[in-house]
Each structure stands twice: as structure tokens, then as C-alpha cells.
Amino acid sequence: MIRSGDDYRESIRDGREVWVGGERVKDVTVHPAFKPVVDLRARLYDMAHADATKEVMSYVDEDGERNAVPLKLPRTTDDWRAKRRAVEAMMDEAGGVVTRVGDETVGEMWSLYDGSEVLAEIDPRFAENIERHIWRVLRGDLFHVSANTDPKGDRSKLPQDQDPDMLLHVVRETDAGIVVRGAKYETAAAYANQAFVKPTIANWGKEELSDYAVGFVAPMNAKGMKHICRSGFAGRGVEDYPLACRFDEVDTLIIFDDVTVPWEDVLFYRHTRAAAFIRGTLHRYSAFPYVHRILRMADFMIGAAMFNARQTGLDKQPAVQEKLAQLACYREGINAHLTAAIADGERSPRGLLMPNQSLLYTGRVLACTQLPAMMHLTRELCGGQICVTPDSTSFRHPELQPWLHKFYTINERWDADDRRKLLAFARDLVNSDYAGHRLTFKLFAQSPPFAHLAAVYRNFNFDGPLRAVKKSAGLSDKVMAEKPRP
């Protein structure tokens, strides 16, 4: 089934308790902090119905039902190419980068699907729940987000030795389900339908069972749940902050104040081995759409820098061309990893097609670690005017306009109005508080950098380089038998 934008809007008018700036939000679909991104998400839903985009955004399944391409379980390279096209179409329609609109988090459920046999061995009670939830998201066209990160507290102490709620945990079991208490950070939760809640990266030590090892699906209007959102970037004037005002994906601290999770929504419980397994495989699919968004950010940086260089004829300078080429190398480096990860995909334990894991995780490190340097290079190429230019109201003011037009008009192609717009765009891309927020999002939202490198370490095949050195250095066979140190 595919939902319309209005179906989506209706689905989030469900009595959820949302707060922003100390204000209780009655309806997230109309509140100024959320409306731009809710409208955008609704437009993306409508794309699956519109004649021009229907075929790229949806497909007909074996039961004759039309479903959303981004939510489809990937089984072939063509499925991945279709997903890539759908995300490109979404970002073309949006005119900007939105990451947490569902397709980028649904893959966490596919990892669970892959692991359902392993999880059933650990605790057979929940295998059916996993399977049912996978299909529920697809068939219900749900907007599904991700909840991993707790406030954590003092990590030199065990959770039990401080306020135990610093990490989300089970406080009791009832016939109806488990009751959980704690808090999680979640982007987009206030306007999504549900989240896959699971433990953050944790050192489980030798404990086999823990009240903290729990994973479940929670609706965003559950009784006892409070969304306390950070203040929004929207509303500052779209002419001066064209990205912040349209693409702010508001983050939430969700409080779970004794929330009951029905047994049918529990995906794993108490077994630390299950929790560790989930953490180890969580991003095997979802890293792809996460990195894909950075490709579009790279395109925006190249476009902004190149327009700025061309305006003033700086693109003729070899030193400037080199810097533009560096941005192009970054962009194509990401593109190469994404393209090759699909072309060289790997079969998962349940028969899905995973992007090549080593290429995907190394691509994520390339894209995320180089992003600050590339933003800085863009800032440099755009010049200091991105942070000193007066705002749009000054450009329209009758007394100021002649001066600003005089000093911001460059030639017959670039009048003052276009120059101001480009500078405002570039500022919001690499220099504004929203730009800084996006950079931090890419640093952390799919786990912190050390976890990205740990994923590379676990997935890169070190045997090839070892064999090459063994042969070339004439080492004996026994060196290959050495087990990696824990």
C-alpha cells in the first residue's frame, strides 16, 4: 500500500505529546517548527501517486499491491539501483537534502530480518514479531525512525550504580508486555509514526542477561511518552536561510516514563548476545542511504563553489581549478563507493542483497571524515562575502537598494539579486548554525566515528594483504594461522 501526503498528516495527528521551546504542540502538522518538514515529507508520499514520479517511487508486488520502492526488501542489484533513483528523485523534488525521511532507517529492520534465525536461537519468543514488523512497515508505508542513543550518564559507573534510567531499561513485566523507562535521542520522531528502539553501543562485559538489553517497536504516541524537541531552525526567513527554513529535521529527546510495550512489539529482550548482535549489524543496509545523502551535499558544495568562482572569473585561475577538482574527487570518491557497493553486493544470511560491506563502510568513513574539510574548502572558494552580506530586507529597502545593487552586481549574467541568493544559499550550506548542525548530524547520527571505523575493521578482508606480504617476504605458512587478537 502507498499512503498519500494527507494520509501521513492524519496519521501523526494522534494525540502525541510534543514540546518545543517550552510550548506543548497541539498539532505538529501546522506548528511552524515542524510544518516545513511535515509538508515536505507529505510531498514525498504524494510522489508515489503523481504520474510523473509514480514509477520511480513505487512498484507493484507479487500480490498486485503497490508499495514504496525505498521500503522494499532488497534482493537484487536492480532493487538497489531503483532505490538510488528514488532517493535522487526525492532530493530533486525537495530541492535539498533530507536524511531522516524513513528510507534511511528502515534498513535497520532488514538487519533484524537477517538475524532472525540467530535471534530465535537466543530467545525464540520474538522471531514472529520481527517478521511481522518488517512487513507492517512495508505494507503500511510507515514513517519509521531509529532510537539508539540514551543520555548515558556517568560511564565510569555501572547503570545500576547511578540513576538507573540514564540508559533505557525494563522496569517490570506484565501480562500485556514490558514496561520501559529511560530516554532516547531521535531525529524526526515528533513527526514520524514509529521507532525501532534498541540499546546504544554498550560494553555488556560477561553479563548474559540484562534489563538494558531490550529492542522493540514503539508508536510515537505511546502513553507515557514525551517528545522534548530542540528549538527549530525554521522561521528565520526563507530568503536568507533557504535551507534551514525548508529542511530542518527536528531532533527529539524522547522520555519513556513507564511506557508499556505490548509483547507483540518486543523484538529481543534481556539477552546481551542479541543486543550485541544487533549493534554489530545495524547499519549493513542503512549506511547506503546515509552516505547517499552526502553525495548530494557534495553536489551542492561543488555547485555553490563553481558559481562563485565563475561569477568573478576566478575559475580561470589554475589554483582555483585545483580546489574545485578536489571537491570533484570527494564527490566521485563517494559515488564510486556507492556504485561499487551495489555492483559487488553480497548475499545476506536470509537471501537479501547487502551492499558490499567493506566498500560501504569504507565509503561512509570517506564521506563523513572528509566532510568538514570539503565544507571548509567550499567556504574558502565562496569567499568571505557569505558571512558579511546584508539580509534580503536591506536589498529591498528603497534607500539601500541602489547601493547594494551597485556593489553586488557583477556583470550582465550576475545581477545583485542572484548574487545575494547564491551567497545566502552558500552560507546556509557551509556557514550558518544550521550548516554546523548538519555537519554534527553526519558526524554522529549513524553512530560516532569510532564505531564507523570499527565497522570497517570487522568487514574489511585483511587476508588478501596478508597473503601478498607473506608471499613477497617469503614467510612460512604458519604465520597465516595466527588468530586476530581480540
For ligand FAD, the binding residues (CB under 6 A) are 146-149, 152, 184-187, 251, 440-441, 444-445, 447-450
C-alpha cell at 305: 563553489
Task: Tell me how far, at minimum, the Cβ of 252 lies from ligand FAD, in Å.
Answer: 8
**Nearest to ligand FAD of 414, 444 (CB atom):** 444
- In angstroms, the CA 227 to CA 267 distance is 23
Task: Tell me how far, at minimum, the Cβ of 290 lies from ligand FAD, in Å.
Answer: 11
C-alpha cell at 105: 532507517
Report phi then psi at 329, rounded to 5.
-60, -40
Torsion of CA 225, 231, 234, 239, to 10 degrees: -170
Task: Tell me how far, at minimum, the Cβ of 166 lies from ligand FAD, in Å.
Answer: 11
**Nearest to ligand FAD of 40, 188 (CB atom):** 188
- In angstroms, the CA 265 to CA 150 distance is 20
The 3-state DSSP class for residue 256 equals strand
- In angstroms, the CA 110 to CA 423 distance is 41
Output the CA angle 399-401-407, nearest 5 degrees: 125
**Nearest to ligand FAD of 101, 374 (CB atom):** 101
Task: Tell me how far, at minimum, the Cβ of 278 lies from ligand FAD, in Å.
Answer: 13
- Nearest one of 341, 326, 200, 349 to 275, comparing CA atoms: 200
- In angstroms, the CA 217 to CA 287 distance is 20
- In angstroms, the CA 257 to CA 108 distance is 25
CB 102 within 8 A of CB 70: yes
Across 26-133, where does the E strand assignment appear? 58-60, 66-68
Tell how far CA 108 is from the center of its chain: 11
Task: Tell me how far, at minimum, the Cβ of 448 lies from ligand FAD, in Å.
Answer: 4
Contacts of 61 (CB under 8 A, 6+ apart): 67
Task: Tell me how far, at minimum, the Cβ of 240 lies from ligand FAD, in Å.
Answer: 22
Task: Tell me how far, at minimum, the Cβ of 124 lies from ligand FAD, in Å.
Answer: 27
Task: Tell me how far, at minimum, the Cβ of 36 lies from ligand FAD, in Å.
Answer: 17
- In angstroms, the CA 183 to CA 21 distance is 18
